[in-house]
Chain A
């Protein structure tokens, strides 16, 4: 009963936050776009047509057409699928790897803690984008490899957050009580540690989906991510570079799509942070 009221409180605080609601509305629209892409997009993702090259935005082609005569609006709509997928899966990768490492470091004492944290220090000494580029370069350019590269790159941040919260929970009296009545480590982790360290994880994960979307676009822009003709926003921007001087719409719309996606994810993340931890709110 008590638990339910906590989440109810979170929800009430969340929907009172106008910016957070705006974020969730935009995000819902984007998700609907991604799910129903075949019904929304008037054209296919790779419908090349030499007669419709470089048409400026108009009623027939909302966002104009590109150098192959493809409808940019359709490609941006389908691109939402890829970006949201990359964002979610790479965050899941960071959550699992970072979460497990952080929890082991905090729960199993000095030795494991030292080894894991020093290893993470090393990864954190490499600027994030440089690390993602190096991993992507090593694995080769593809959708899956890109998600692994981004997920690994962001994992140390998760590990630190989980470690900090597990360290503080571990010292709580209810954990000690649980241990005294003979609960195993597994039960303690599942029953006490995970539920209580969930809040900072959720916030970090939401904010990281946005970061991952940007990282994915950046890697594709550099030619280290998704390859054409897949309609990934960063890859579309990379292809548009050569035509920047004459055909602005090829650059403007995929970028706006990224902006809108990350903007809404950040609003939701900020809203969740304030709702989950009212003490932090300024």
Chain B
């Protein structure tokens, strides 16, 4: 197992290098001279030339790219923000806790709501509950998350005055953002859970368990859900990536000072090292989550463990 994880971690390196290349290229071809943006339109040509020299902006593309990668690998240096002149990594890490809190709470909402509703819908197929849940699910995947966030603010903050609309000053402040980000993923998870459960529930071993008088609750949770879990976990992993992307929007709506919002602010300020750093950072998070999902498979389905064990040799 440890060997497998190590192998996967090593495989992640070229992918992240590729990501670095993609964002670096994207920022390189962006029109506009960062030196002019930072120093202002009134800067003298000499000042701009000196700045370009200092930041290494005059070097050829590949030289700059390799310098960038070298900095990351050897010094954990993701570059320096044009605006604050501070290291990008530090700035990202100081905002990371807010993004992690948002993503974790949203994932909790998504998994609890999605799996519960999905299981109930499957067990009570074609009931009123099932139909209602299906419609809510269909609407959920059709809604832009930022709009849902604004509507929740309208209802719960402006009219009912139950919850705060923006900021991160305490537990109460996280309720609306995590509902917003979690709900849309819950809809996808619910749809997958329902269809997987329906498939599993028809299997013979479920009938066997019933025949031997097993408690229905145990049958549903232990026999059925566990075997339906693999595709559900795949969807949860995909949804987590969506959440990392969606956090960009939700952080904007609720004024949460997280990594996503930092990226948008940096784009507007043309602070390219920060844009590169945030994209790379969010992608690395996504890759780690995917690895976590793959490891989780082996705990749920022992067959997969032996498969990996065979692969290793």
Contacts and interface: CB of A to CB of B under 8 A. Distances in A.
Do A and B come together as binding partners? yes
Given A134-B279, A258-B144, A129 B242 contact: yes
B116 interface: no
Contacts of B14: 118
Interface residues of A, number: 45
A119 to B, nearest CB: 7
**Which has the most chain B C-beta neighbours within 10 Å: A128, A140, A222, A237?**
A222
Nearest to B159: A248
Interface stretch (A40-48, A106-114, A261-269): A261-269
Nearest to A121: B15
Binding site secondary structure of chain A: helix
A241 B249 contact: no
Contact of A129 (B27, B153, B245, B253): B245
Contacts of B93: none
Contacts of A127: 241-242, 244-245, 282-283, 286
B154 interface: yes
Interface in B1-29: 14-16, 18-19, 21-23, 26-27, 29
Interface stretch (A27-35, A86-94, A187-195, A213-221): A213-221
A8 interface: no
Interface stretch (B170-178, B209-217, B261-269, B295-303): B261-269
Interface of A: 118-119, 121-123, 125-131, 133-135, 137-140, 210, 214, 217-218, 221-224, 234, 237, 240-241, 244-245, 248, 251-252, 254-255, 258-259, 262-263, 266-267, 282
| Nearest 10 interchain pairs by C-beta | A129-B245, A122-B18, A255-B147, A127-B245, A138-B26, A262-B142, A263-B142, A137-B267, A127-B244, A126-B283
Interface of B: 14-16, 18-19, 21-23, 26-27, 29-31, 138-139, 141-144, 146-147, 150-151, 153-154, 158, 195, 198-199, 241-242, 244-246, 248-249, 252-253, 260, 263-264, 267-268, 275, 279, 282-283, 286-287
